[in-house]
Amino acid sequence: MDKISVLGCGRWGSFIAWYLAVRKGKQVWSWGPQGDYAYEVLKNTGKNEYVALDKSITLTSDLEAAVARAELLVISISSQGLRGFIRKVLACRGAKTKPVVLCMKGIEAETGKRLSQICAEEGVPPENIAVWVGPGHIQDFTAGIPNCMVIDSSNVALKKQLADDFKSELIRFYYGNDVIGTEIGAAAKNVMGIAAGILDGGGVSTLKGPLMSRGAREVARLIEALGGNGLSAYGLAHLGDYETTLFSRHSHNRMYGEMLVKGQKFEKLAEGVMTAAAMKKLGRDTGVELPITEAVYDVCFAEHPQSVEEWKNLCMDRIAQLFSRDTKFEF
């Protein structure tokens, strides 16, 4: 599959287009909607803050053409907009016959559905769906710093084909073996990233150790309740991504949490906010206790008092409740 359309030209979409064209020599179309900020920046300047648009990449706002020309579709947009967007994609000629790779992390807040579930519900054949997740920041990749990622699918042949085809010295791919765990773990790490940012902003970064261990256990319980393998929480999609989410200055979710507790506004997308809402719903539906998730949800959706100091105290009091619960066995 040498002809690939990357649908979405924001932070990750533009990087994927760059990676597949420059590092893998694919024929790449990069799509974004007319008038969208990310698309207009690439159109007018040929670059964004992350990558330069290589001359071999065709930038377009014509979704019909982008879908028709490709053998493979990679989607990288905001997760909460996937359902409406996949409907538009499937209305394009030949879309239902083409593999779809979801390079995005999230859970639909309204329904608690995983992203691959949404695609299947809207008409993408399940055997044509794969997910691409795992640790790594674009700033590191473009600087030549390598990392490892995961491609998962219920279609074993498809995930092996993609992982083998996309691997390079920059990104080593592993085959995932639990789509439920891979997707839930990847989405949930953004919630833990917000929690880490709250700890940083509140001056208690030392508590990120307990956050890492208890957070992974919390996510494992949810994965198991949803029919996945709890061990997936300790793989690359979740625990393996903690370094780039809980500690990195590049992490949107960690920075969102840090600025939130300081009463400042973060202007970029932090997927963990709506994922916290989705996970809270899943916890309620499955009967799984998710104390860290619920604390993050409470802070993200609480009303702000006028005083910054009052707000910081409110945030830290909610987080402190996690560490004043009844003593329990660790496992």
**Whether 61 and 116 share a structural domain:** yes
Give the H or E element holding residue 216.
helix 208-225
211 HSE (CA, 13 A, CB side): 30
**pLDDT for 149-180, tens place per residue?**
999 999 999 999 999 999 999 999 999 999 99
Contact call for residues 203 and 225 (beta carbons, < 8 A): no
Q: Is the confidence at residue 331, as pLDDT, over 60?
A: no
Q: Is the confidence at residue 118, as pLDDT, over 90?
A: yes
pLDDT at 324: 67
**Whether 160 and 226 share a structural domain:** no
Cα separation, 130 vs 162, in Å, equals 9
**Whether 15 and 96 share a structural domain:** yes
Cα separation, 90 vs 87, in Å, equals 5
Q: What angle do CA 285, 300, 322 make, to 5 degrees?
A: 70
Treating both helix axes as pointing N-terminal to C-terminal, what angle do 82-90 and 115-122 enclose, rounded to 10 degrees? 40
**Whether 163 and 223 share a structural domain:** no
Count of structural domains, the chain: 2
Q: What are phi and psi of 220, to 5 degrees?
A: -60, -40
In a domain, 255, yes or no: yes
Q: Residues 26, 159, 189, 208: which is the catalytic one? A: 189
In a domain, 59, yes or no: yes
**Whether 52 and 141 share a structural domain:** yes
**Whether 263 and 301 share a structural domain:** yes
pLDDT at 305: 76
**Whether 47 and 137 share a structural domain:** yes
**Whether 28 and 74 share a structural domain:** yes
**Whether 15 and 100 share a structural domain:** yes
Q: Which of 175, 205, 222 is the last residue of a domain?
A: 175
141 HSE (CA, 13 A, CB side): 26
Strand order in 72-75's β-sheet?
A: 58-60, 27-31, 3-7, 72-75, 100-102, 129-133, 147-152, 171-175
Cα separation, 73 vs 63, in Å, equals 11
Q: Which two tokens stand for residue 278?
A: 């989705």
Q: What is the mean pLDDT of the chain?
A: 94
Query: Among this protein's residues, is 189 annotated catalytic?
Result: yes
**Whether 211 and 103 share a structural domain:** no
Length of the chain: 331
Instruction: Write out the residue range of the structural domain in which residue 288 sits.
Output: 187-323
In a domain, 180, yes or no: no
Place of tokens 């969208």: 36
CATH code of the domain covering residue 167: 3.40.50.720
Write down the pTM of the prediction: 0.94
**Whether 131 and 271 share a structural domain:** no
Treating both helix axes as pointing N-terminal to C-terminal, what angle do 272-286 and 208-225 enclose, rounded to 10 degrees? 50
Report which of 184, 161, 158 is spatially closest to residue 282, judged by C-alpha positions.
184
Q: What is the mean pLDDT of residues 81-108?
A: 96
Q: Is the confidence at residue 330, as pLDDT, over 90?
A: no
**Whether 13 and 125 share a structural domain:** yes
Q: Is the confidence at residue 329, as pLDDT, over 60?
A: no
DSSP 3-state assignment of 195?
A: helix
In a domain, 240, yes or no: yes
**pLDDT for 211-268, tens place per residue?**
999 999 999 999 999 999 999 999 999 999 998 999 998 899 999 999 999 988 888 8
Q: What are phi and psi of 58, to 5 degrees?
A: -95, 115
Beta strands in 103-256 (DSSP E): 129-133, 147-152, 171-175
In a domain, 72, yes or no: yes
